[in-house]
Structures are given as structure tokens and as C-alpha cells.
A and B are shown apart, each in its own frame.
Chain A
Amino acid sequence: MPEDTPNSLEPFEAPAPAVQTPGMALDPTETREMLEPPSPTAPDPAPRHPNELLALVVAIVGWTLPGGGHLLLRRWGRALVAFGAVAILAFVGLKMRGNVFPPRGADAFDFLGFIADAGAGVFYLLAKTVEAAGPDVSRAAGDYGTRLVAAAGVLNLLIMLDAVQIARGEKS
């Protein structure tokens, strides 16, 4: 019979207790470290005060107007690129007569499509204005347009999250 089986007849040695009993004395060096404040020369982690109100405003503006969140944070380059990218994707997608999903879809996929499309913010609201003829997915181009509009919305949500992270101080 192997020695490490539970049925071994050898006496069992209990391991030493890992918990300190109340009567045991603490190590003096440990006690000193616990009581004394950290030395002023030690690197102190920078205090973070995330501005939650600013982050909320940035999120709302960033969703409504692509790049608007970065604009509030004076990130001009990112704001310009964000607006241009979402605008081009949404405009081309709508001009190709891509489908824009309504808020009350027939099934879960329609709802997901709505979430993606609505991410484009103002471009979702202006969809009827940009392409008055409406969607036409009977042709392949209309199907490609549907994907481009959804991509514009999802990209804008990603851009909005980036702006929120900057507003909260989690990203430079």
C-alpha cells in the first residue's frame, strides 16, 4: 500500500497553527511599521478624484454628437477624427440605403441592430433626412449599407467610452 494513501497507519502529525494566538507577542519591527506613517520620501500614489458628473456629461454629449465628448475635454484631434469617421460611415451606409432598425424590433436581433444603430447618436435621428427613400435591402448594396450604419454606431460607442475614461482620469 502506498504511504500517502488515507488508509495509511502511520501517525498523523498536525501542522503548526498558522493563526496567532492572543497571547503571542508581535514582532517589534512589524508593530512599528503598522503604527508609523509612511516616510515622506516614499513615492505616494497620486490621488484620483474621478469627476463623475463630468464623465456623465461627456458620455451624453459624446453619444449624441460623435466626437462631442472629446471636444468637451479639448481633445481636438480625436474629436475631429471621431466625428469624421462616424459621419462618413453613417452617411455612406444610409446613402447605400442600408436598413435602420426601429426601437421596437420583431426579435432580439432587431433589438441588437437598434442598439448598434442608435449608437450613432444624431445620425440615427437624421437617418430619414439623409436618405428619404428609406432602406432597400433587396440589393447587396443595401445590405452593405446596413453593416456600415451599425459599424458607425458601435464605433461611436467605443469613442464615447474612450472620452469617459479620459474624463474619469483613467486614461491620458
Chain B
Amino acid sequence: MILTHFQTMCLFAFIVSVVFAFLSRKHLKERLRYALYAFLAFLLVAVAMGWLMYPISH
């Protein structure tokens, strides 16, 4: 099985966000909101860190 780096990161972010939401929130609406927030935060931080490290690799 071959996944790209971005696909792997999305899979990781999605699953961890869902688990965090289920462990830390009780109601479905809160869980959905928290999972979406955590997922977007994972992606945003990862992309931002990638761009911050971009000058180091060039």
C-alpha cells in the first residue's frame, strides 16, 4: 500500500481527531465540532510547519 505524505497525515489527523473528540466530549454535536476543529488544526499546523522548514531544505 502506497500513500503520499499528505494522505498519511490526513489519515492520522482524522483518526486522532475522532478519538480525541470521543474521549473528551460527551454529546454528539460537541464531538463533531471538536473533531472538525482538531482535524483542521492538525492540518493547519502541519502545513505551517512545512512552510517554516522550507528554507532549511533549500
Docked pose: A172 CA to B15 CA in angstroms: 23
Number of residues from A at the complex interface, CB < 8 A: 21
A89 B15 Cβ-Cβ under 8 A: yes
Q: Is B11 an interface residue (CB 8 A)?
A: yes
Q: Is A77 an interface residue (CB 8 A)?
A: yes
The residues of B that contact A147 with a CB separation of less than 8 Å are 8, 12
- B1-58: which residues lie under 8 A (CB-CB) from chain A? 1-3, 5, 8, 11-12, 15-16, 18-19, 22-23, 26
Which applies to chain A's interface (DSSP): helix, strand, loop or mixed? helix
With A89-B15, A155-B16 as contacts: A77 and B5 at CB distance below 8 Å:
no
Docked pose: A139 CA to B1 CA in angstroms: 12
- Cβ-defined partner of B15 (8 Å) among A78, A85, A96: A85
